[in-house]
Chains A and B, each alone.
Chain A
Amino acid sequence: MQKTRFNFDFMGKRKIGLALSSLLIIISIISIATEGLTLGIDFTGGTLVEVGYAEAVELDLIRTALSHSEFSNAVIQYFGSANDILIRIPPSPGLDNADISHRTLRLLADTGLNPDLRRVEFVGPQIGKELREEGGLAMIYALICIFAYVALRFQRHFSVAAIAALVHDVIITIGLFSITRFDFDLTVLAALLAVIGYSLNDTIVVFDRVRENFRKLRDTTPATVFNVSLNQILSRTLVTSLTTLLVLIALFIFGGEIIHSFATALIMGVLIGTYSSIFVASPITLALGITKKDLMPVQKEGVEADNMP
């Protein structure tokens, strides 16, 4: 038997993991179905204007300035600090989109305080729709490509489990965005794809070790192989998650308001991704009935036996 620093019975607890994951997924799906997502203007279309003031301003001042205009349905909020204001103007009929930002600024200047225009984003309804569709497609393409690669490099059972873990991660991360009502925009979508990359990275490392141990350990049940493998690489899993989280937290705190939802999605994703490679990908592979026979080397991997202690 191999010596390991840790000796947790992960597979014995797989029912708990399964229950937890199912619960999170159900909550996520319910929330997405009923509450939906707070889609950013990238996907809905509309206009977003960010203005900066020299000193803190009252939101009410801005609200009053815009309330009697064509932008009475604008959503106004602070962005990062009380000096920064974010104004969202939904697309609406009869609104000439060409100079919304200009007209907004003129209305704001009427209050006597002259803000600095920091950012304008305008997305036409057509583009919003396209980005929505393309975003979904990108997600599906990524999953298909990954499925193919894992099936080729490992084995079908692993492939199915890896994809299941990824879908699990994506659903729960989106679910968290739905529950917390954070803005879901294009950068969050990018973050989700990065989460897919990260979570998969983690899963692959687990599978790699599982494959190796299936070939190496004799007279063990598949569950033991998984347990031994997970324990062997547990410190690697924790260290890598930690360093990644360290930089993400730096990004979250110091990266500015624009990058906030992006960093949030990644932080959630890294946590969920780490969890899922242990408690989702591994039990599913096990449940799919993987055996030693499935993994006996086709290539010249026999050299490994020489290195056995």
Chain B
Amino acid sequence: MNHYSLWKYILILFLLGLGILFALPNLYGKDPALQVSATGSSAISQLTEFQVSTALEEAELAFKAIDIGPDSLVIRFNNEESQLKAQPVVEQSLGRNYVVALNLAPATPGWLDSLGAEPMFLGLDLRGGVHFLMQVDMAAAISKAEEAYRADIRSSLRAQKIRYKTITRHKSGGLLVRFKDDEERDKGQALIADDFPTLDAVLAEAPSGESQLRVTLKEQNVLDTQKLALQQNITTLRKRVNELGVAEPVIQQQGLSRIVVQLPGVQDPAVAKKILGATATLEFRLVDDDHNVQDAIDGRIPAGAELYYQRSGLPILLEKQIMLTGDSIIDAASGIDGESGGPNVTIMLDGKGAKRISRGTRDNVGRRLAVVFIENKIAVVEKEGQLVETKQITKEVISAANIREQLGRRFQITGLDSTQEARELSLLLRAGALAAPIYIIEERTVGPSLGQDNIDQGFNSVMIGFALVLIFMMVYYKIFGLIANVALSLNLVLIVAMLSMLQATLTLPGIAGIVLTVGMAVDANVLIFERIREEVRNGNSPQASIHAGYEKAFSTIADANITTLIAALVLFSFGTGPIKGFAVTLSLGILSSMFTAIMVTRGLVNLIYGGRRLDKLTL
């Protein structure tokens, strides 16, 4: 009685060994490091490594090691001071096509690393950083897609000589095509159905004497458009985050219209927010100097023109026709204008854009070209008693300068307020425009000081709670208490090992989950030990009592743990971020405590008491 077969001991030792191995990397701490990643066409190679090490040696900055990976280079330092000093040195040696980010690299020894053992992945609330949840404005994406069909529908109708009056936007979405009579309208409807299989054209209610069609995207087309907008936005955000130089960013789709962005270690959320959420783009239009601006302000805007305002607040009339949009810009760099001394942005266009602008400026030398800065902002307004987010679009003319000569692929714009603004604008133009506006609907920023506090406090409370339980168990159950304590300690090691192995995110509520598990994990042992005591009181022999105690407590433990596991799983499937972290540690804790509290303690009890003649149990 009370014997474990050899294979059970081997299994226990194997699992515990595995657990200790995978928990080990958490003991080594982290090195301050720089993470170099390539943007655009450049790549990480031996050459990059050589450039970096030469530059650091020249600057007499000591470094620990350089690890070369497939898409990044990690340079480790002995302290933060040399890390910070080295950043500009490395940046300069590599040039603009590389991003150099501050990072903490795990100091896991090579042999553990090669086994795939890594330290736990800390959540933003522990390491500090910014978490954004962004909503993609799908309505805008749809109307943009509808707009794209406008010119195509027009040329199709013309080609078939179907007479229509105008194509405008329908007030409840879609395009509105107005026809002279029903006959033309029916022809138009048939044509759209033939030529544009992804569009729906339905009769719209029209005032008498008119016939109208409302053209909208078909459902599949709507879904595809939304998917594309989301994908494009994720790509653009990724580029922008790369430009910001953040190590280990997370950019993920959430649901059908949302994007999660997590930027660990970012200390100034304001800049990150501005860059990520910015929908700033440019438009180039000719200035309409033929008409009177005052008339336009009074409401008589001449045909073919639109009223804009400059940064100074002065009104200006621009031609309705857009010469060029920001989409054609492939590169942009900020600098200082040689003549005025003010900030400027040098812009490089793609082939199509270059053709358009040279054609547009050729015949207009001497006229003024305006640069319009367009930005989407989101504000909360009250609508029908509820607070809702709405878009606000600001359009400003940042410069309106004389065209001195025909423009080509490369030219400069001026008129920006500060070098900071010039830098941000060039960054946005480089990373490309967002396919649809996005706005932040949730933000959680944790400063680095609070992150460290959270780690310390979390660690302290786990340790103190743990110590209290150990002392109590030892006093109350004596030798059996010690056995339970060994199991409890191994339980903690196993939880850490599983979290490291799964690379699940450890958050502050996650630590709370561990604390709670520690408290609840002893429950299984309490159940077993109380049962053994009962059996002894009922006059059974010590050996029989141990056997019966484990046997009878098992189904109770299983039932109790499974129900708790159900609650934890529901929590996991519902939870966001930190809550998920809690659910994960709670579930893992339940599983590992079942193993340690039942198998490990039984193994120990059998080793100590098994096969011996016992008169009394110290319990």
Contacts of A208 in B (CB 8 A): 555-556, 559-560
In the complex, what residue of chain A is closest to B476 when comparing beta carbons?
A239
Q: Mark out the residues of chain B between 233 and 247 whose CB falls within 8 Å of any chain A CB in the assembled complex.
A: none
Cα separation A118 to B387 with both chains bound (whole Å): 28
How many residues of B are counted as interface, with CB atoms below 8 angstroms from the partner's CB atoms? Answer: 85
A37 to chain B, nearest CB (A): 18
Q: A118-B447, A187-B509, A244-B520 are in contact. Are A96 and B570 (CB under 8 A)?
A: no
Contacts of B571 in A (CB 8 A): 138, 142, 190, 193-194
Q: Mark out the residues of chain A between 38 and 55 whose CB falls within 8 Å of any chain B CB in the assembled complex.
A: 45, 50, 52
In the complex, whether B407 has a CB less than 8 A from a CB of chain A is: no
CB < 8 Å neighbour of A239 from B377, B457, B458, B526: B526
CB atoms of A193 and B570 under 8 A apart: yes
In the complex, whether B608 has a CB less than 8 A from a CB of chain A is: no
In the complex, whether A112 has a CB less than 8 A from a CB of chain B is: no
Using an 8 Å CB-CB cutoff, how does the interface string of B150-191 with A read, 1 for contact, 0 for none?
000000000000000000000000000000000000000000
In the complex, whether A119 has a CB less than 8 A from a CB of chain B is: yes
In the complex, whether A116 has a CB less than 8 A from a CB of chain B is: yes
Contacts of A240 in B (CB 8 A): 520, 522-523, 526
Interface residue SS majority, chain A: helix
Q: Mark out the residues of chain A between 78 and 102 whose CB falls within 8 Å of any chain B CB in the assembled complex.
A: 91-99, 101-102
Q: A126-B389, A255-B512 are in contact. Are A102 and B563 (CB under 8 A)?
A: no
Q: A3-B537, A127-B442 are in contact. Are A258 and B508 (CB under 8 A)?
A: yes
Q: A149-B566, A259-B512 are in contact. Are A125 and B386 (CB under 8 A)?
A: yes
B405 to chain A, nearest CB (A): 40
In the complex, whether A57 has a CB less than 8 A from a CB of chain B is: no
Cα separation A193 to B52 with both chains bound (whole Å): 52
In the complex, whether B388 has a CB less than 8 A from a CB of chain A is: yes
CB atoms of B270 and A102 under 8 A apart: yes
In the complex, whether A251 has a CB less than 8 A from a CB of chain B is: yes
A223 to chain B, nearest CB (A): 21
Taking each of B556, B582, B586, which has the highest tally of chain A beta carbons within 10 Å of its own beta carbon? B556
CB atoms of B560 and A242 under 8 A apart: no
B12 to chain A, nearest CB (A): 24
A20 to chain B, nearest CB (A): 25
CB atoms of B380 and A94 under 8 A apart: yes
How many residue-residue contacts, CB under 8 A, span A and B?
261
In the complex, whether B230 has a CB less than 8 A from a CB of chain A is: no
CB atoms of B378 and A98 under 8 A apart: yes
Using an 8 Å CB-CB cutoff, how does the interface string of B480-508 with A read, 1 for contact, 0 for none?
00000000000000000000000000001
CB < 8 Å neighbour of A250 from B468, B513, B548, B556: B468
Contacts of A127 in B (CB 8 A): 133, 441-442
In the complex, what residue of chain B is closest to A308 when comparing beta carbons?
B538
Contacts of B466 in A (CB 8 A): 247
In the complex, whether A146 has a CB less than 8 A from a CB of chain B is: yes
CB < 8 Å neighbour of A251 from B273, B377, B472, B512: B512
Interchain residue pairs A-B with the least CB separation, the first 7: A247-B465, A250-B465, A124-B441, A244-B519, A197-B567, A138-B574, A197-B564
Chain A interface residues (CB < 8 Å from chain B): 2-3, 5, 45, 50, 52, 91-99, 101-102, 116-127, 131, 134-135, 137-138, 141-142, 145-146, 149-150, 153, 186-187, 189-190, 193-194, 196-198, 200-202, 204-205, 208-209, 212, 232-233, 235-236, 239-240, 242-248, 250-251, 253-256, 258-259, 262-263, 266, 307, 309
Chain B interface residues (CB < 8 Å from chain A): 133, 135, 269-270, 273-274, 277, 377-382, 386-389, 439-447, 449-450, 453-454, 457-458, 460-461, 464-466, 468-469, 472-473, 476, 508-509, 511-513, 515-516, 518-520, 522-523, 526-527, 530, 534, 537-540, 548, 552, 555-556, 559-564, 566-568, 570-571, 574-576, 578-579, 582-583, 586
